[in-house]
Chains A and B, each alone.
Chain A
Amino acid sequence: MGFLGNLFGGGRRDRSASVAKQRLMMVLVDDRYKLTPDMLEQMKIEMAEVLSRYLPHVDSDQIEVTLLRGEANDHLKAEIPLKRGRDE
């Protein structure tokens, strides 16, 4: 992005609206499900443990959990990157 990007305020920092949205997403999970960021971390670690029993090494740091809000139900979405087996 470089010079022009910085000139127009699009530097490294994320736009504050998307920061606000991400923060709200986490706060609302906490409010609605009493699921604190710490618990979410712990959940990822345990998910990685279980998944690693079946799949080549899964790193808990790589798991991304997001809450999708729907009208009747919310959904928890986990993205779990897998190392390609054939590289091993």
Chain B
Amino acid sequence: MARVITITSGKGGVGKTTTTANLGTALAMRGARVAVMDADIGLRNLDVVMGLENRIVYDLVDVVEGRARLRQALIKDKRLPELCLLPAAQTRDKDAVSPEQMVYLTNQLRTEFDFILIDSPAGIEGGFRNAIVGADEVIIVTTPEVSAVRDADRIVGLVEAAEKGTPSLIVNRIKPRLVNRGEMLSVEDVIELLAINLLGIVPDDEAIVTSTNRGEAAVYDQHSLAGRAFLNIARRLNGEEVPFLPLQDQPGVLERFFGIFGRRRT
């Protein structure tokens, strides 16, 4: 049974596209057939984050409007044959697709893939509604900041009102040193405020910048803590119980120390 999972946030720029690219790649690395869909129509981004921008011929709106078949629009990943991208249209606006068309599209994808990950646009308007309408599950990404958490709370309410169940949470861009100094909301704080289940914690990591520059997912980078955090989230999505990663800036002695004593686990 295919699972359609939408990644959304409310506030912009908190890491939805980064999360979609890395989770899609991680799930495909583990052998699943994965389609990632860019639902941010007019602000196409998932293609460049995944390094597939040069291969686009048709997009989601072309499929919806009958200019291309779904198979023609799906772009195969460079490394993983079981990973495909359905790009957003760049020159159209969010009203180019209706909710019914989105449902139809996700249902078509269900027949060919195990996971369909939908990268939602920011905000609470049509684009967001289109992104969740076909979903079975919703993941909310937030950063440990007042405005991002506030917007995430709005989204929890909207997702529940749309009868998509209670979303799960990824806290992105955690800076352990700031948290330890009491100058950044901790993951525990965020969970207490939002009262939803934690799916993963992703540290703020320079490797995200460099991997995005190259158009390669950070999950390929063995040394990236964020990459490892995304790999763990993918395993949790598969139903595995995976302990949260120890969060330290430099992997090594400290990390092992925290690993042994089980403190500050992500």
Tell me whether A24 and B146 are in contact (CB under 8 A). Answer: yes
Contact A31:B150 (CB < 8 A) given known A15-B182, A17-B183, A21-B185: yes
Tell me whether B185 and A17 are in contact (CB under 8 A). Answer: yes
Residues on the B chain within 8 Å of A31, using CB: 150, 153-154
Instruction: With both chains docked as a complex, state the minimum distance between the C-beta of B163 and any C-beta of chain A, in angstroms.
Output: 16
Tell me whether A69 and B195 are in contact (CB under 8 A). Answer: yes
Tell me whether B183 and A25 are in contact (CB under 8 A). Answer: no
List which B129-185 residues lie within 8 A (CB) of chain A: 145-146, 149-150, 153-154, 157, 166, 179, 181-185
Instruction: With both chains docked as a complex, state the minimum distance between the C-beta of A35 and any C-beta of chain B, in angstroms.
Output: 14
**Does B186 count as interface, using CB distance less than 8 angstroms?**
yes
**Does A5 count as interface, using CB distance less than 8 angstroms?**
no
Residues on the A chain within 8 Å of B157, using CB: 32
For the complex, what is the distance from the CA of A16 to the CA of B185, rounded to whole Å? 8
Residue of B nearest to A71 (CB): B195
Contact of B150 among A9, A16, A17, A24 (CB under 8 A): A24
**Does B242 count as interface, using CB distance less than 8 angstroms?**
no
**Does B192 count as interface, using CB distance less than 8 angstroms?**
yes
Residue of A nearest to B183 (CB): A16
Contact A15:B146 (CB < 8 A) given known A28-B193, A71-B195: no
**Does A51 count as interface, using CB distance less than 8 angstroms?**
no
Tell me whether B182 and A24 are in contact (CB under 8 A). Answer: no
For the complex, what is the distance from the CA of A55 to the CA of B186, rounded to whole Å? 40
Interface string of A9-35 (1 = CB under 8 A from B): 100000111101101110110011000
Residues on the A chain within 8 Å of B195, using CB: 69-71, 74
Tell me whether B179 and A17 are in contact (CB under 8 A). Answer: yes
Tell me whether B181 and A9 are in contact (CB under 8 A). Answer: yes
Interface string of B189-216 (1 = CB under 8 A from A): 1001111100000000000000000000
For the complex, what is the distance from the CA of A15 to the CA of B180, rounded to whole Å? 11
Instruction: With both chains docked as a complex, state the minimum distance between the C-beta of B42 and any C-beta of chain A, in angstroms.
Output: 28
Instruction: With both chains docked as a complex, state the minimum distance between the C-beta of B25 and any C-beta of chain A, in angstroms.
Output: 31
Tell me whether B185 and A32 are in contact (CB under 8 A). Answer: no
For the complex, what is the distance from the CA of A73 to the CA of B150, rounded to whole Å? 18
Residues on the A chain within 8 Å of B185, using CB: 17, 20-21, 24
Residue of B nearest to A18 (CB): B182
Tell me whether B181 and A21 are in contact (CB under 8 A). Answer: no
Residues on the B chain within 8 Å of A15, using CB: 181-183
Instruction: With both chains docked as a complex, state the minimum distance between the C-beta of B150 and any C-beta of chain A, in angstroms.
Output: 6
Instruction: With both chains docked as a complex, state the minimum distance between the C-beta of A75 and any C-beta of chain B, in angstroms.
Output: 11
Q: Beyond A9-B181, A17-B186, A74-B195: 7 further Cβ-contacts under 8 Å? A: A15-B182, A24-B149, A27-B150, A28-B193, A31-B153, A69-B192, A69-B193
State the B residues within 8 Å of A (CB): 145-146, 149-150, 153-154, 157, 166, 179, 181-186, 189, 192-196
Q: List 15 A-B contacts (CB under 8 A).
A: A9-B181, A15-B181, A15-B183, A17-B179, A17-B186, A17-B189, A21-B185, A21-B193, A23-B146, A28-B193, A31-B150, A32-B153, A69-B195, A70-B195, A71-B166
State the A residues within 8 Å of B (CB): 9, 15-18, 20-21, 23-25, 27-28, 31-32, 69-71, 74
